[in-house]
Chains A and B, each alone.
Chain A
Amino acid sequence: MILIAVISLGVIGAIGALLLYAASKKFEVYEDPRIAQVQEALPGANCGGCGYPGCSGFAGACVKADTLDGLLCPVGGAPTMAKVASILGKEAASAEPMVAVVRCNGTCSVRPRNNQYDGSQSCAIASTLYGGETGCSFGCLGYGDCVNVCTFDAIHINIETGLPEVDEEKCTSCGACVKACPKNIIELRKKGPKSRRIYVSCVNKDKGAVARKACTNACIGCGKCEKECPFEAITVTNNLAYIDYTKCRLCRKCVAVCPTGAIHELNFPPRKEAATDTKTGADKPTPAPKTEKTPVTKEVAAPQEKVKEKTN
């Protein structure tokens, strides 16, 4: 009896194995082995910053593409792309490293609250309900939707200022925070040589007087920077200045003329006394020398300093 059972099961098993073997040969799907190799080289964060659904999607796109132009893993950056290029025998596209920039400097002390929000602590929900707790309906709400979506622990709310700060060492410019911000405050900008960059830290499109009343750090659209810029990098539209980072040559002239301090410079060495405009000298102190020692500092180093000295 036992023998019959063993034999019959064995035969059934053998037939099944043959069928499976035949099927696997007949319906074999060829997958480019390079996709797996490329995926191996990628960070595996599946952040979607490249615009593809996860790392495997991006690997597939890299293998399929004729050139690597326009394909960039923002997390791994140039070294990862070089690795990918060597696997595929293609030329790696050179890409400027980018970083997330929070374009609001309406700290608690300069942007007074005129109402209190007690709803869900989510920027997306608050913005469907109303303009926010301050007179500026464009500025940061401060409930941290950007913090919640960041997979790299690179953005945090500073309790003192109420604004998010980007840790540029950790930021991979995946753009998740840019998408999460309902106010479109966060922008990916060129990291710049030695992390030096200049940007307008405000998105308020109200008229100057209204903006200024709501927040003393707001861009009032006066256009001084636009006139001052020798490279035509600054445009003022809808009462708001914007610096095109592809044209900006980091001369810092706009920073000196900005009457509200809405234009921020980061990680620059201190200016010489002569270079500082005497008119704005009181309002706009020279950045502290600590930026020189540590070229990579946290995003907010400059604004925080300004606030402190203004309130003194």
Chain B
Amino acid sequence: MLRTFRIGGIHPPENKLSAGKKITTLAAPKQVIIPLGQHIGAPAVAVVKKGDTVKVGTLLAKAGGFVSANIHSSVSGKVNKIDNALDASGYRRPAIYIDVEGDDWEESIDRNETLVKDCKLSSKEIVDKIAAAGVVGLGGATFPTQVKLTPPPGNKAEIVIINAVECEPYLTSDHSLMMEKGEQILVGVTLLMKAVNVSKAIIGIENNKPDAIAHLQKLAANFNGIEIMPLKVQYPQGGEKQLIDAVIRRQVKSGALPISAGAVVQNVGTAYAVYEAVQKNKPLFERVVTVTGKGVANPSNLLVRIGTPIQELINAAGGIPENTGKIIGGGPMMGKALISAEVPVTKGSSGVLIMNKEESVRKPMRDCIRCAKCVSVCPMGLNPTLLMNSTEFTNWELAEKNYITDCIECGSCSYTCPANRPLLDYIRLGKGKVMGIIRARKS
């Protein structure tokens, strides 16, 4: 019996159209737009100014706080301007525009493809190097990695869990990365283990990727303490708390950090970025992005420089098909519709999904029939319909009492609702309000 998390969960159609496709490198565009806030936490502070010449890998912006990350140039060229740029949600936020000239990399970056296995650095040096390279969680939440590797006092990591489940339908970027960069990922995992001083790591992979499981299992034989664990396909297994439950059968208390269960969870893409940062001195300025959709001529996994307009990716995959309803940034479950195809790829972009009009349209909402399907699928054990109602009637105490702040916004409730109720929309609103109330109470 394969393991999975024990509460709730759904299994939407997988639609992994781009599975098995090799990663192709997308050439740098004419201009990149690199936002200063690509991660959770404070936006980075620009250290370059208009007219500066930058190389690939040059530091553009320094972390603007403890929970923040450095940002590096993904191209070589001239800083055109530092101005507000449209982000995926239609708000304008500060970004650095760079006009591309040639492809001149910083000399410190090791561009050799050979695998570097040994690392003599101490755990602190590894964490510092990761911080300097601006590595953030590449699963989509973009939490600065060095913060996760520095457990708050009183907590001790016991195990590193690598999230390679890729539970979102359609997305295959992690899958392709595992097939092509398996050894590098495993070195990255050893580095992460060293960074938090643990001797055990488990890589959780859903068993809809048998080739990746077999491939990594073969490679892991040469590494100490790394185990590959096939998991039953279940959404949202990629959620941190769900994965911890699935892999080591521990539950994280409401409001607590995963480290309280002794686990440090990192995405498989992050492990690869850590390898590149520590062993190759390469900052995080490119990532694998899946471009997919039922109407897309050539669904693909592209290695893209951060800051490339999404339109370029779509062009590489065969252009925007006719009858396109929405372009989603991310997967179909947690992704958000993009306001324009001109918005840039950021560190958190795992996929671009093009949906046709029929797929993308929202069905009309009807009255709740009290079937409690949302309750049974909620992976956090919440009561989504109650939370939606308490938000609708602005009963924040009721929402707080029913743990609205524990919602991971996976969307299983909205997906499963037979009355098409926008449960998550309301819960997200209520969660924001309640968190604001809690913050105000604390200060």
Contact = CB atoms under 8 A, between A and B. Distances in A.
Interface of A: 114-115, 118-120, 124-125, 128-132, 137, 206-207, 210
Contacts of B365: 120
Interface of B: 84, 89-92, 336-337, 339-340, 361-362, 365, 422, 425-426, 428-429, 432
A183 B425 CA distance: 18
Contacts of A119: 362, 422, 425
Contacts of A115: 90, 339-340
Given A115-B339, A119-B422, A125-B422, A206 B429 contact: no
A115 B429 CA distance: 22
Nearest to A182: B429
Given A115-B339, A119-B425, A120-B365, A128 B432 contact: yes
B429 A137 contact: no
B90 A124 contact: no
Nearest to A126: B425
A124 B92 contact: no
A132 B422 CA distance: 18
Interface centre among B84, B90, B361, B365 (most CB of A within 10 A): B90
B411 to A, nearest CB: 12
A118 B89 contact: no
B220 to A, nearest CB: 41
A130 B90 contact: yes
A130 B91 CA distance: 7
15 contacts: A114-B339, A114-B340, A118-B361, A120-B365, A120-B422, A120-B426, A125-B428, A125-B429, A128-B425, A128-B432, A129-B89, A130-B89, A130-B339, A131-B89, A210-B84
Interface centre among A119, A124, A132, A207 (most CB of B within 10 A): A124
B325 to A, nearest CB: 9
A125 B430 CA distance: 9
B362 A129 contact: no
Given A120-B425, A129-B89, A207-B84, 7 more contacts: A118-B362, A119-B422, A125-B422, A125-B429, A129-B425, A130-B90, A210-B92
A125 B426 contact: yes
Contacts of A114: 339-340
A113 to B, nearest CB: 11
A171 B190 CA distance: 66
Contacts of B337: 130
A124 B429 CA distance: 7
Contacts of B340: 114-115
Contacts of A129: 89, 336, 425
A128 B432 CA distance: 9
Contacts of B336: 129-130
B334 to A, nearest CB: 13
B428 A128 contact: yes
B91 A131 contact: yes
Nearest to B431: A128
Interface centre among B84, B92, B432 (most CB of A within 10 A): B92
A115 B340 CA distance: 8
A164 to B, nearest CB: 20
A132 B90 contact: yes
B425 A137 contact: no
Nearest to A134: B90
Contacts of A118: 361-362
B374 to A, nearest CB: 16
Nearest 6 Cβ contacts at the A-B interface: A131-B90, A130-B89, A130-B90, A118-B362, A125-B425, A120-B422
A206 B432 contact: no
Contacts of A130: 89-91, 336-337, 339
Contacts of B92: 137, 206, 210
